[in-house]
Structure 1
Amino acid sequence: MRLINRRPDRTAALLLAMLPFVLVLIAYILGSAARLAENPADKLLPSLGTIADAIARVAFNPDARTGDYLLLNDTLATLDRLLTALGLSTAIALVVGVTIGMLPAVRALLAPFVAMVSMVPPLALLPILFIVMGLGEASKVALITIGVTPFLIRDLAMRVEELPREQIIKAETLGASSWQLALRVVLPQIAPRLIDALRLSLGPAFLFLIAAEAIAAESGLGYRIFLVRRYLAMDVILPYVAWITLLSVLMDYALVRLRRALFPWFGGRTR
């Protein structure tokens, strides 16, 4: 049988999925042991025991200066900024994307502008946002919104344009107005695609937020990483990076479950 036709069963698929993680962990353990054998004070690749101690310190012990649990406090601050920005981006993209996709006049007016804005590197705007909006929460939320919204708008607009023209004509024949077309024909079909677009936006959204927190913040996962880097505290940095990755994975999984629950007819097409 050709390899292209061989499909692993569930157990084999699980083992194959775990293999890269196990190999990376083994490589890290070996590399850490080798560096610590040469220099016990080495901070680049701390041992798993040292990392575990750092996790206990930031996650389960209150900070001596503030009394806060640092990991919890940083996580809540980051998620508050991230979810606020993604909520704004979703609302704007849904309205503007559907309008551009449905109405030719609006498409001619806004599509070139949105395409141009989507090419602007969001991180290049960060100094401008800090100057105009200050160093508070608004500038951080604005950076994520500016970075994510144009992509969502363009994706939704293209998905609306891809809908079969026959559906629109049939609805118009039955007397549907443009408002009814948007609510009854377009929206139900692009809503699951919007959820998938949000999944693809999680990585860039975290990138923009971490960059903003690293420059001007008093709490947050990105703030903590760049605060302790001056001490070469890899035992804190590595768990924080892993925690950010885990949060992204959990949010992605939650969006998948939401899409499958709300749109079971669409759930089997993408992962």
Structure 2
Amino acid sequence: MRLINQKPGRSWRISLAMLPFALLLIAYLAGSAARLAENPQDKLLPSVTQMADAVDRMAFSEDPRSGRYLFWDDTAASLKRLAMGLAIAAVVGLCLGILAGSLPLFGASLSPLLTVISMIPPLAILPVLFIVFGLDELSKVMLIVLGITPVIARDIEQRAREIPAELLIKAQTLGANTWTLILRVVLPQLLPRLLIALQLALGSAWLFLIAAEAIASTDGLGYRIFLVRRYLAMDVILPYVAWITLLAWLMDLGLKRLTRAAFPWYEGGRT
């Protein structure tokens, strides 16, 4: 049997999925043990014990200065900003995508504009956002919004253009006006694609969030990472990076499950 036709079973699929992570963990533990054996004061590759102590200090011990649990406060601050940015980007991106993809008069102007805006590096305009919106929460949220909204809008626009014309024609023969077409025909077709677009934009949203928090913030996961880097505190940085990765993965999984639960017909319709 050709290799391209061989499909692993469930147990093999789980084992193969875990294999690269296990190899990376083994490689890290071996490298950490070798460096610490040579120099016990080495900070580049901390041991599991050192990272566990750092997590205990940050997450389960009150900060002597503020009396807060810094790990959870940072997590709550970052997730709040991220949720606001994703929610605003989803609504604005959906509206722009529908206008550009379903209404030719709007699409003639919006489509080129969205294309140009999506090419602007969001991090390049971060100083502008700080000047316009200040150094508070709004500028951080706006960076996420400006960073991922054009991408979501272009994705929704493309999906709107792929809706079969027969559906729109049949609805119009039944007396549907433009508003009814958008609400009853176009929107239901685009909502599952919106969730998928959010999945694809999650990585970029986290990137913009961490960048904004690193430059101007007093709390947040990105702020903490860049604060402790001056002390070469890898025992703090690595757990924070792992925690961000876990949160992003859980959000991706949640959106995927939500898409399947809310729109079970979507996968079958695509195939």
Under a length normalisation based on structure 2, what TM-score does the superposition of the two structures give?
0.98
Unaligned runs of 5+ in 1: none
Match of residue 68 from structure 1: 68
**CA apart distance, 1:57:** 0.9
CA contact (8 A) 1:259 1:267 kept: no
Structure 1 segment 129-168 matched on structure 2, within 5 A: 129-168=129-168
Call closer, same or farther: CA 1:47–1:268 in 2, change over 3 Å: farther
Indicate whether 1:123 and 2:123 are aligned.
Answer: yes
2:92 matched to which residue of 1? 92
**Alignment of 1:36 onto 2:36:** yes
1:55 maps to amino acid: V
| Matched letter for residue 160 of structure 1 | A
Between the aligned partners of 2:41 and 2:208, the Cα distance in structure 1 is 34
Q: Distance in 2 between matches of 1:269 and 1:96?
A: 24
* Residue 231 of structure 2: aligned partner: 231
RMSD, matched Cα: 1.1
Query: Which residue of 1 is the match for residue 203 of structure 2?
Result: 203
| Residue 24 of structure 1 pairs with residue 20 of structure 2 | no
Q: 1:182 corresponds to which residue?
A: 182
- Residue aligning to 1:106: 106
User: 2: CA distance between counterparts of 1:145 and 1:23?
Assistant: 37
| Alpha-carbon distance, 1:115 to partner | 0.8
Please give the secondary structure, in 1, of the residue aligned with 2:45: coil
Alignment deviations for residues 129-153 of structure 1 (CA, whole Å, 9 cap, x no partner):
1111111001000110000100011
Q: Could you tell me the percent identity over the aligned residues? A: 61
Distance of aligned partners of 1:232 and 1:14 in 2 relative to their CA distance in 1, 3 Å threshold? same
Q: Distance in 2 between matches of 1:8 and 1:261?
A: 26
Residue 110 of structure 1: how far off its partner (Å): 1.3
1:169 corresponds in structure 2 to 169
Q: How does 1:248-259 map to 2 (within 5 A)?
A: 248-259=248-259
Tell me which amino acid in the other structure corresponds to 1:101: G
Give, in whole Å, the separation in 1 of the partners of 2:187 and 2:194.
Answer: 10
Deviation string 1:84-114 (CA, Å, 9 cap, x unpaired) is 0111111111111101111111001111111
Local SS of the residue matching 2:265: coil
- Shift in Å at residue 261 of structure 1? 1.0
Q: What TM-score comes out, normalization by structure 1 length?
A: 0.98
Cα–Cα, structure 1 residues 13 and 268, in superposed 2: closer, same or farther, change >3 Å? farther
What's the offset of the Cα at 1:4?
1.2
Task: Indicate the SS of the match to 2:219.
Answer: coil
TM-superposed CA distance for 1:38, in Å, is 1.2
5+ long unaligned stretches in structure 2? none
Deviation at 1:179, TM superposition (A): 0.7
Instruction: Supply the AA of the counterpart residue of 2:199.
Output: R
Residue 269 of structure 1, CA deviation: 7.6
What is the match of residue 220 of structure 1?
Answer: 220
Runs of 4+, deviation exceeding 3 Å: 267-270
Match of 1:194 in 2: 194
